[in-house]
Amino acid sequence: MVYQEDVIKIALHYGGLSAADGDILRRAMSGKGRSKAALQKVKDDFFIAAAAKGHPETLSREIYRQIESFAGYSFCKAHSASYAVESYQSLYLKVHYPIEFMVAVINNQGGFYRTEIYVHEARMAGAVIHTPCVNRSDYQTSLYGIDIYLGFMYLQGLDSKLSQFIAYERERNGLYKSLEDFINRVPMGIENVKVLIFIGAFRFTGKTKNQLLVQVSLLMNNFKPENRGLMLIREPAKEFKLPVLERSVFEDAFDEIELLNFPISCTVFDLLKTRHRGDVMVRDLLKHHKKEVRMLAYLISTKQVPTKRGNMYFGTWIDHEGAYFDTAHFPDSLANYPFQGGGCYLMRGIVEIDYHFPTITVSKLTKMPFIPDPRYSDSDKRFTTQHNIKQDVSSTHRQPYPQEHEINLPRHRMKF
């Protein structure tokens, strides 16, 4: 079965039902109307008519089970055709305008994967990724040539109305000249300003984050909001003699994880305690068919699938070079080596090549620790921010497929 209309064909030609009953079956399977009583009657009629045509009951029950299973992901033919057109159009844009396409996907906030993965895809296409900037970013993500500035909408803890006002005020009265100019023009409290400082939104000032944090405290402790925008002639910005307070790239990365859920200043691999990057990269996997390999990779997504022996999982990953690959995790392996949330894992498994695409059947898996968060001296806080690293999860809600011997029907692999 490929389309929902195939359910009608089976009901007609195998079950001997009328076209009307076949359509009731199709619509009920897709969750569109018809009572349970009507569906039960069609189901009973299906088995009665199939038996009248001489079909074995076991075969009829297996076919009906496949119809029920198929209903969970089936499409009608008209929808499939329209999606095919949209897929070709999207593919054309992704091939010829990859960066523009990825920015559109990011702003659409749709798709199966989290924003981080589309940002990674844009980077792999040649884009330079920037954290939000008060003089370059809008509420949504912006593109200047190959430079992508993430939108304010992705900042955790920043008020959405204020996020939109930043760009509105900039368009109306020009670029922000300094932190003090920003404070005088945007009605924002000190905590929201600190969020922008921590994400690097005032880097155009040439001051470090630590210097800006000192300055915002000096400016806003005695600041009166009612005076904002009242002066006809703006006084020159006060210049403070600030100490040089250095900050590491890892501190910036942990700021980004806390506010965006993923780092921009470096990769997640750079935050690992180990310098090991695996014995094999994705580009070499085709050379290791049926061989055991050891890889270090960043988890993108997992999909749970029920089997007779318990739940198995499929994983999607990227290696240190940014290339994608898939893994299969069977129940016996998962019992001893389960997934432990988002992050990087060291894995061992056998490479299988299917239709020229490598998959690793994993036998061992362990999550690799990050370096302690350098922003904190408190040991309790040094390992909390990394929990913001996410993974995309999907589950299949159905009964396990029956084994070949249970239905007495052989299964054959399709040949091309």
Q: Encode pLDDT of 27-37 as tens digits.
A: 766 655 555 67
Q: Give residue 221's pLDDT band: very low, low, confident or very high (50, 70, 90).
A: confident
Q: Helix %, strand %, coil % for the chain, to 5?
A: 45, 15, 40
**Mean pLDDT across the stretch 157-163?**
90
CB-CB contact of 152 with 138 (8 Å): yes
Go through the domains of the chain in sequence order and give each one's CATH number. Answer: 5-77 (no CATH), 112-260 (1.10.150), 270-395 (2.40.50.140)
The pLDDT assigned to 233 comes to 46
Q: What is the pTM of this model?
A: 0.80
Least confident of 231-245, 307-321, 328-342: 231-245
Whether the per-residue pLDDT at 13 is higher than 80: the answer is: yes
The pLDDT assigned to 225 comes to 63
Radius of gyration of the chain (CA): 28
Q: Encode pLDDT of 205-215 as tens digits.
A: 999 999 999 99
Whether the per-residue pLDDT at 232 is higher than 50: the answer is: no
CB-CB contact of 334 with 348 (8 Å): no
Tell me the HSE value of 342 on the side-chain side, using a 13 A CA sphere. 19
Whether the per-residue pLDDT at 57 is higher than 50: the answer is: yes
Compute the Cα dihedral for 195, 200, 204, 209 and give only its sign.
Answer: positive
Q: What percent of the chain has pLDDT over 90?
A: 58
Give, in degrees to the nearest 5, the angle at Cα 302 between 301 and 304.
155
Give the C-alpha separation, 147 to 126, whole Å: 9
Phi, psi of 93 (to 5 degrees): -65, -40
Q: Give residue 132's pLDDT band: very low, low, confident or very high (50, 70, 90).
A: very high
**Mean pLDDT across the stretch 395-409?**
61
